[in-house]
Structure 1
Amino acid sequence: MTTIDTSERFTTLPDDATLSATVVALEEHGFSVDVVDDLDAARKAVLTRIPHGSSVMTNTSMTLKETGIEDAIDGGGPYESARNKMLALDYQTQAQEMKVISGQADYALGSVHAVTREGTLVIASASGSQLSSYAWGAANVIFVVGAQKLVPTLEAAHERIYQHSLKLEDVRAQAAYGQHSSVGKVLEIHQELPGRIHVVLIRQVVGF
């Protein structure tokens, strides 16, 4: 019996046939899709879809950081940064207002932890803070996803979360917040009304 190294299993880019089949499945489930070659192209694909002046929430994501999308939105560009507006409030006394701002932006940006061959998007979260906007609250959602996150099944998606993504996120959380991470909630998006959720797939290993 062969033992597969989980990090290699979950960081290998798919072949063109798998990528193409996944794109077709995503489109059949109501998602629109761009496939781009690199980080710069991903950033341009996202920013060109967002009208200037829109309220935009950048949810915590290594992919948004690595592509420069986070800086483009929150660094004083032509958009209304929901994150900046939210962080200006006091969590102890204005938590509900913060939830409204982050959960009901014109555009919610982030990534996913896995995309199945059948076209399901799978996102794990410790607190669930970003999940309400993805599921319902935001008018538009854009996911930026490294193609290494494509997996064959939902079972493989959950394995990827626990065996790969959580381990890396735990290290990040300890460095950023001084505490361990966990999987508190998992959102599976199987179907969406056309036009609301857009997926930008990058032919590179990006994010967790």
Structure 2
Amino acid sequence: MSVQTAVPDEAFAAAAAAAQVDRATATLRANGYLVHVVDTVAEARALVADLLPRDESVFTTSSETLRLSGIAADIDDSGKFASVRAQAGDLGDDVQARIRLGAAAEVVIGSVHAVTEDGHLVVASASGSQLAPYASGARKVIWVVGAQKVVPDLETALRRIRSYSLPREHLRLQALGQSSFIGKILIMEREALPERGTVVLVREPIGF
């Protein structure tokens, strides 16, 4: 697929049916994740503020879900949290420093590109910077996920990434004179550590 000319498949932009969200919720819980289901983005934003600790380092991954919801600004700009990004300041052109930024954070918050009805979380990345803390590096992880990301199975999740999430990200970066690609994909099937991973499922679309 040529990312430069790809048109996002807007079928993946619509919120999943309530029954699909309910099935994903049940299987995520069976797979070891804590799950909160809220109706609106505003409710998700308020919930995250309650879930996050005030005395531990918190890293916000690069996420349109966090940016558009206002959650990233709540964490990085309010002064209420020990934001890794706020404490790091301007890293300039040091790409490796930016990639390593969240490696040692106690708490990481971000999103994923797909949640399957059988309880798998799937996320793609160019650099892979958020994948290590997502998988095992961070002591706690919170993912905020819009209902449009709930899909039937892993095959559909991977198709969603390539035909919708990647083209949308490329278009976003194209406006900044940049481009995007898939460097790494992480599939999380089960969480071994109790209460480590929390999924906040929002019944309305947010992010891509």
Q: What TM-score do the two structures reach when normalised by structure 2?
A: 0.90
| 1:175 corresponds to | 175
Preserved CA contact (<8 Å) 2:61 2:108: yes
| 1:30 corresponds to | 32
| 1:196 corresponds to | 196
Q: Deviations 1:110-142 (Å, cap 9, x if unpaired)?
A: 110000011000000011011111011111100
Deviates more, 1:54-63 or 1:80-89: 80-89
Offset of residue 179 of structure 1: 1.7
Preserved CA contact (<8 Å) 1:86 1:102: no
User: What are structure 1's unaligned runs of at least 5 residues?
Assistant: none
| 1:124 corresponds to | 124
CA distance in 2, matches of 1:175, 1:54: 35
Offset of residue 101 of structure 1: 4.0
Q: Deviations 1:24-75 (Å, cap 9, x if unpaired)?
A: 0000001111111111100111110112132111111111011111010111
| 1:187 corresponds to | 186
CA distance in 1, matches of 2:100, 2:8: 38
More helix by share: 1
Q: What is the percent sequence identity of the aligned residues? A: 43
| 1:55 corresponds to | 57
SS in 2 for 1:102: coil
CA distance in 1, matches of 2:81, 2:43: 19
CA distance in 1, matches of 2:147, 2:86: 29
Deviates more, 1:119-128 or 1:98-107: 98-107
Offset of residue 20 of structure 1: 1.0
CA distance in 2, matches of 1:162, 1:38: 27
| 1:146 corresponds to | 146
SS in 2 for 1:23: helix
CA distance in 2, matches of 1:14, 1:89: 39
CA distance in 2, matches of 1:206, 1:101: 25
Indicate which of 71, 74, 77 corresponds to 2:76. Answer: 74
CA distance in 2, matches of 1:38, 1:143: 15
User: What are structure 2's unaligned runs of at least 5 residues?
Assistant: 1-6
Q: What TM-score do the two structures reach when normalised by structure 1?
A: 0.90
Paired residue type of 1:108: V
Preserved CA contact (<8 Å) 2:127 2:184: yes
Q: What count of residue pairs does the alignment treat as equivalent?
A: 201
SS in 1 for 2:181: coil
- Runs of 4+ in structure 1 deviating by more than 2 angstroms, as ranges, are 5-9, 84-92, 98-101
Preserved CA contact (<8 Å) 2:8 2:165: no
CA distance in 1, matches of 2:8, 2:164: 7
CA distance in 1, matches of 2:51, 2:136: 19
| 1:65 corresponds to | 67
